[in-house]
């Protein structure tokens, strides 16, 4: 079994996928890991729309992101914040939905890695178009697209380019 550190090192942004389905058990496992994510006040202000290979809106959803590679993904998860359910801090009214959805999304990505699947966070997409395709109400924000599937042979993991530990951590 992989350690958590190994999983974090193994996960990378996959931008080319094999044209094969994901086993239902694997998909359910990943969604269950998403469900376990923590959230502010445990409000769980989220919803995941699973775009399957058979979905009538699959092409439309993928076209919300203007990169050809995303079309190779057999599945796509649309991770949405429900702003009418998210916690707002009383001192400054900060909406914590963004933080909550980020935790849920990374649970998905790491669980997928554990299952031998690839993912990529995609935030640079047309959210208004996505909202109208999925008929979302104004309280629901599609925050992240997660294409998911088996990495193709063309998908290669680059060396992790990360700041040194002493640049990001300070003991005070
Ligand atoms: C919040 C967020 C938004 C991102 N949006 C995009 C995106 O729109 N398109 C894309 O190709 N990658 C996107 N990425 C992936 C990052 O570019 C990638 O995680 C980063 O370069 C580190 O590479 P790695 O994931 O392979 O370790 C995003 C990542 C995060 C965390």
Residue nearest to atom 18 of ligand 1 (CA): 13
Q: Closest residue (by CA) to atom 3 of ligand 1?
A: 123
Rounded to the nearest 10°, the torsion over CA 109, 111, 116, 120 is: -10
pTM exceeds cut of 0.95: yes
Query: What confidence tens digit (pLDDT) does each residue in 115-164 have?
Result: 999 999 999 999 999 999 999 999 999 999 999 999 999 998 999 999 99
Distance between Cα 14 and ligand 1 center (Å): 10
Mean pLDDT (whole number) for 20-48:
98
87 CA to centre of own chain = 21
| Residue to mutate (ligand 1; options 62, 121, 155, 157; most atoms within 8 A of CB) | 121
Using CA atoms, how far residue 89 sits from 13, 83, 92, 97, 153, in Å, is 32, 13, 6, 11, 46
How far apart CA 15 and CA 12 sit, in angstroms, is 9
Structure tokens at 38: 């923590």
Q: Whose CA is nearest to atom 11 of ligand 1?
A: 122
Specify the DSSP class assigned to residue 70.
G
Instruction: Quick: pLDDT tens for 38-95.
Output: 999 999 999 999 999 999 999 999 999 999 999 999 999 999 999 999 999 999 999 9
> Which residue's structure tokens are 């239902």?
24
Residue spans of the domains in the chain: they are: 19-152
Q: Please state, as a whole number, how many other Cβ atoms lie within 10 Å of the Cβ of residue 156.
A: 11
Q: Residues with Cβ < 8 Å from 46, sequence gap 6 or more?
A: 39, 79, 80, 81, 82, 97, 100, 101, 104
Q: How far is the CA of 121 from the centre of ligand 1 (A)?
A: 5
The domain 19-152: what is its CATH number? 3.40.109.10
């Amino acid at each position: 079994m992989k350690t958590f550190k190994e999983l974090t090192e193994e996960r990378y942004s996959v931008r080319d996928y094999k044209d094969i389905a994901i086993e239902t058990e694997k998909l359910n496992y990943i969604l269950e890991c998403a469900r376990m994510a923590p959230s502010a006040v445990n409000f769980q202000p989220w919803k995941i729309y699973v775009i399957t290979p058979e979905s009538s809106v699959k092409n439309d959803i993928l076209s919300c992101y203007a990169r050809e590679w995303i079309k190779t993904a057999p599945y796509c998860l649309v991770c949405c914040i429900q702003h009418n359910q998210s916690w707002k801090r009383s001192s400054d009214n900060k909406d914590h939905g963004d933080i909550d959805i980020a935790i849920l999304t990374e649970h998905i990505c790491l669980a997928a890695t554990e299952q031998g699947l690839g993912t990529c966070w995609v935030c640079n997409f047309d959210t208004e178009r996505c909202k109208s395709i999925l008929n979302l109400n104004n309280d629901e924000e599609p925050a992240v697209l997660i294409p998911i599937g088996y990495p193709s042979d063309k998908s290669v993991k680059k060396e992790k380019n990360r700041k040194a530990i002493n640049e990001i951590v300070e003991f005070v």
